[in-house]
Amino acid sequence: MQHLAYTEKGKGSVVVLLHGFCESKEIWKDFIPAFSDSFRVIAVDLGGFGESANLLPQPCSMEVMADQIWELLQHLQISQAAFVGHSMGGYVALAFAEKYPAMVEKLCLFHSTALADSPEKKENRNKVIEFVQKAGVDAFISNFVKPLFYEGRWQEMQKEINFLEEIGKKTPLQTITSALAAMRDRKSRLELLVKANFPILYIIGKQDTAVIWESYQEQLQKIPNAQTLILDETGHVGMLERPQETLQTLKKFLTSCQ
């Protein structure tokens, strides 16, 4: 069986890093060495993305992507881990936590949400699928990536924007449309977190246009024990926009719960 591509570094308690939509494990390139002095870090290319481009599940769903993670962890003989999921990676981590709860030691939703798409968001996903099919990957990524960053810092973040665009343009068209549909059709897993017996951390960008600030209010009210890092003048890619703050908070979260 062919397993998902991954980068592994360090020893100790396991931390699994899951990238977001149109990203790859390269998004964590600065986090992997920073974590590896204390943890065994596994950064994964999700099915259809990065070096796992040929492993897009058909039909694609968060649940099947979670199963691919499970198969990889079985192969690596890992029985429990902390999960850090960026955006879509958070949706996959939530699906994993629902299917394999005993394997989840901690969970960080990094610019990600436990809620399902709203009707408006679902309709927007459909429009984006149509756009990608007509215009192609490069045109889509050129429109998609820049607004993920806080608008007030676009100029100073140009290097990081270019980096994310470069990753995104390598994503196959079929992966983009399938993943968009899978995100559109995912269910809410808020109740899963309400009942969870593992620590939860939310990293939130106040100017995030992909997962808007207001959408977190219900989640944080229902999960009063969740830890939060709320970043002002930050969009959807805090690991690039606010690397020091996000890294420090994650390290503290992962270490304090060991």
Q: Give pLDDT, residue 212.
A: 93
Task: Report residues of the chain scoring pLDDT below 70.
Answer: 257-258
Domain boundaries, the chain: 6-256
210-238 burial code (b ≥16 CB/10 A, e <16): bbeeeebeebeeebeebbebebeebbbbb
Burial of 159 (0-12, 13-18, 19+ CB in 10 A): exposed
Give the DSSP letter string of 168-203: HTTS-HHHHHHHHHHHHHPPP-HHHHHT--S-EEEE
Cβ pair 182, 94 in contact under 8 A? no
pLDDT tens digits, 235-249: 999 999 999 999 999
pLDDT tens digits, 176-208: 999 999 999 999 999 999 999 999 999 999 999
**CATH code for the part of the protein at 6-256:** 3.40.50.1820
- Report field, pTM of the whole predicted structure over 0.85: yes
